[in-house]
Amino acid sequence: MLRLAVLSARGRLGAFTGALVALFAAAVLSMAWGMQLESILRAHPPVERYASAAAVVTGQQKAGVDHDVLLGERARVSSALAARLAAVPGVRSAIGDVSVPAELGDRAAVAHGWSSAALTPYVLSAGRPPAGPDEVVAGYPATLGARLTLAATGPTPGPAIPSPSRRRSS
């Protein structure tokens, strides 16, 4: 088989060189596309939720013996960390953000505790902060006072929180 390929290449050197260059270009383009696809799948959009936080503390996002396996979702840290960070001299406040995957109506959503609203750049445009466990603030097209169906899509998190924030006084 190799003998036939060599004889063919010797007889049609231009066609063989063109095919080799085309094969090399296809391999380069495939690798470039694959690298872009991997970076799209692993990259995270800018974190707008924590826009007013001076610092955000998260868990290690890599696992494995060589720390070469990237985690697909945010690693959790202990909820006791927020209290420990608040006790550090110079820290004005430490706010823990507990989030739970949920569905609001027919849309996928992430439910956060109201205490972490201070970290966001968002403000209430109507209504008031929630006063009880049966009230929510939604960035969802709903009329004020409407009854919404909020359903958890997974188990509630234990005593861990994804990202406590550390704010220093100026």
Of 41-55, 105-119, 136-150, which range is least confident?
Answer: 41-55
Stated pTM of the model: 0.53
State the distance between the two ends of the chain, measured CA to CA, in whole angstroms.
75
Question: Residue 46: what pLDDT?
Answer: 65
The structure tokens listed for 51 are 């826009």
Q: How confident is the model at residue 140 (pLDDT cuts 50, 70, 90)?
A: low
